[in-house]
Amino acid sequence: MIKWYREYKLSLKDIAVEEVVDLIFFRPLAFIIVKLIYRLPVTPNQISVLSIMAGITSGVFFAMGSAADFMYAGLFLALSHTLDCCDGMIARLKKNGTITGRILDGFADYTSATAVFVGMNIGIYEAGLEYFIPSWILLAGSALSMIIHSIAVDYYKSEFLAHGLGVSNSTQADRELFSGELEKLKGTKGRYFDRLLMWLYLGYSRIQIFRGKEKKEYDQKTYYRSNRMLLRLWNWLGSPTHIFFIVISAILFKPEIFFYFSLVAANIWMTALLIIQARVNKKIAKIAADE
């Protein structure tokens, strides 16, 4: 049991940036799968593809519209995200992750989310569910909120790793790394899929850097101390939490549960965090400037 616990910890990202819902629910399930397939010749990228397939299957079930179909859709979505956790965990344990694998992992998230939201829109119409606002508007707003929340959380996790832990490139430095890799690939033949993934990542990271392109410097200890708990609060807004609420609302056949979370609760939470984050960063930047 102790050996399993140690392996489980090794399979995780730094605990400070792990999202709470993942730690409580999805990653323990994923670790069981990892242990079952660890000795098989399965690559992280293959698991990512399986995650995408499960996500698309979830969208198909959502589109059918019955209460039973929604329940199956929720279960396949849970499986999709659990597999999405598996690819990174097995890559860390086997130390066989790749640059394009990182991007494919993110691509899997957005592919599954697209299938789920399209399926939900069709399924709600087929089920005859009605709300005070047309369901497609609620879904579009919820999807947009989920994207914005996920981008914000990814940004602050990346910055915490760079400025608080010093173990990862910041978002801006990552852009420079991937830009360089893309330039190298332009001088070679083939690997078109890798090029596409890198191009998509660069577009995504451009959105992430919504505060400007300048590099910021902070004192590492001060940044860590000031942002550790704040990052925990940000992590409640990540895509795993949204997925968890979609799964619950699907199993209960009550899509409004997800709407209330994404459109109301999560946006109030993010607004409060943005105000706090701005004050904290301003304070630690001043400390760094005075030293």
Tens of pLDDT, residues 56-84: 999 999 999 999 999 999 999 999 999 99
Structure tokens given for 265: 């609760």
111-147 pLDDT tens trace:
899 999 999 999 999 999 999 899 999 999 999 999 8
pLDDT of residue 161: 83
pLDDT of residue 70: 98
Between helices 266-290 and 135-159, what is the axis angle to 10°?
20
Region of 129 (left: φ > 0; alpha: ψ -120 to 50; beta: rest) is: beta
pLDDT of residue 254: 96
The distance from CA 25 to its chain's CA centroid, rounded to whole angstroms, is: 15
204-253 pLDDT tens trace:
555 555 444 455 677 788 888 899 999 999 999 999 999 999 999 999 99
23-53 pLDDT tens trace:
899 999 998 998 888 888 888 888 888 999 9
The pTM for the full model equals 0.82
Query: What percent of the chain clears pLDDT 90, i.e. is strictly above it?
Result: 45
Q: CA-CA distance, 39 to 61, in Å (whole number)? A: 32
Answer whether 30's CB lies under 8 Å from 89's CB: yes
Closest among 24, 17, 3, 177 to 93, alpha carbons compared = 3
Answer whether 261's CB lies under 8 Å from 242's CB: yes
Q: Which domains does the chain have, with CATH numbers?
A: 2-126+133-290 (1.20.120.1760)
Check residue 236 and report its DSSP letter: G
